[in-house]
Amino acid sequence: MPYPANELAIYIHWPFCKSKCPYCDFYKEVRKDVPQDEIIAQYLTDLQKYHKMTSDRTIKSVFFGGGTPSLIEPRNIEKILNKIQQLWPIKSNIEISLEANPNTHYQTLFSDLRLAGINRLSLGIQALNDDDLRFLGRSHDLATARKCLNEVIKTFDNHSVDLIYARPTQDIKQWQNELNEIVTYGLKHISLYQLTIEPNTVFARKNIKPLDDDNAVKMYNLTRNFLAQNGYEHYEVSNFAKHGFQSLHNLTYWQGGDYIGIGKSAHGRLKLNNRFITTVYPFIHEEISPQERAEELLIMGLRLTQGINLQEFENICGLPFYQCINKQKLQQLKELGLLHETDSHIYPTYDGMLLLNQIVVELCA
């Protein structure tokens, strides 16, 4: 099926948090007085500006990410969604997601968000025990996490949760307990990230060491096998979904679709008149070459278990896949059992998923 080039995804970044988590290197600010209405007014103007470049597109997804977008007042979410609807045609099955942090919970938060137009709620739980929530510097406890999970399941038909594992002192048994619990909620989607110690974070400054590789690999394999047994398809390195519930928005990034980014630090990718434009908010635009776009498609596409669709790759960047990679290295990676090739796709094997960074370096050599 040809990739729908007339579709567009919209990312709205809310860069404010109640507190800073010591592992996090996403762009965020902690401020007492956030001039929310002013910022939202600016977002509406910015949507209008981006519309001028993309008026022929249909919106397939909107994603409110952060930072902590559950700090946006629901009436402001509604304003943004109304504006988007005024400006562009909307796909009938549009996905409208919002990332919520349990530390912003109040009694009507989820029902208010649903009424405002959110149809997919992604909850940042991170850990399912109080000790590790404290270690991760989260300002919610396990009881609040569970309360939020139950409310989200009741309020939305489409939902997701984020957990971070491979914490320095975590053992396999403890992680298994958390997995046992998370599958009981009937969530449609689960994102499970291995803790990375990012430069310039509090964890890096405190010299916190990540879990050793052997145990991290054991936990990843346990995660993949256990979630498959529980009806979750592993479709991207860190993402698992019930059938039909992969994240449409995030697939745009991994499959090389177009998106715009609104809000400080948000970025975007647009193909306009066969030119490849990268955008950084507010309106810093840079053109990249087809080769550069091809490399991005390779890096992002191999994150998917279904891998890269060779025809789509060429449709998007205009270059045949085999012209963009080192064919000898591809052959070696196949012989090592790390990549698999069919007439239509190249994808990482079960073992290959563990070595994606090295695979990309080899293919681009």
Ligand X SMILES: C[S@@+](CC[C@H](N)C(=O)[O-])C[C@H]1O[C@@H](n2cnc3c(N)ncnc32)[C@H](O)[C@@H]1O
List the end-to-end C-alpha distance of the chain, in Å, as a whole number: 31
Distance, CA of 121 to CA of 232 (rounded, Å): 18
Taking the C-alpha atoms of residue 26 and residue 15, their distance in angstroms, rounded to an integer, is 9
Residues between 4 and 63 that touch ligand SF4 (CB under 6 A): 17, 20-21, 24, 26, 28
Q: Is 198 in the site for ligand X (CB under 6 A)?
A: yes
Subset of residues 107 to 146 that bind ligand SF4, contact rule: CB under 6 A: 124
Q: Should residue 66 be labelled a site residue for ligand SF4 when binding is judged by CB under 6 A?
A: yes
126 belongs to the binding site for ligand X (CB under 6 A): yes
193 binds ligand X (CB under 6 A): yes
Contacting ligand X (CB under 6 A), which of 59, 164, 179, 237? Answer: 164
Residues near 38 by Cβ (< 8 Å), separated by ≥ 6?
A: none
Q: Is 99 in the site for ligand X (CB under 6 A)?
A: yes
Question: Where in the chain does DSSP place strands (E)?
Answer: 7-14, 58-66, 90-100, 120-126, 159-165, 189-194, 233-236, 239-241, 259-262, 267-272, 275-280, 284-288, 308-309, 339-341, 345-348
Instruction: Compute the least distance from the CB of residue 238 to ligand SF4, in Å.
Output: 15
Q: Shortest gap between Cβ of 25 and ligand SF4 (angstroms)? A: 8
ω before 67 within 30° of 0 (cis)? yes
Question: Does residue 101 belong to the site contacting ligand SF4 (CB under 6 A)?
Answer: yes
Is residue 101 a contact point for ligand X (CB under 6 A)? yes
Selection from ligand X, ligand SF4, none that 20 binds (CB < 5 to 8 A by kind) is ligand SF4
Evaluate the CA torsion angle 346, 351, 353, 358 in order and state its sign. negative
Beta carbons of 219 and 172 less than 8 angstroms apart: yes
Question: Which residue lies nearer to ligand SF4 by CB, 60 or 189?
Answer: 189
Q: Which stretch binds ligand X (CB under 6 A): 41-49, 193-201, 216-224, 324-332?
A: 193-201
Interface residue list for ligand SF4 (CB under 6 A): 17, 20-21, 24, 26, 28, 66-68, 101, 124
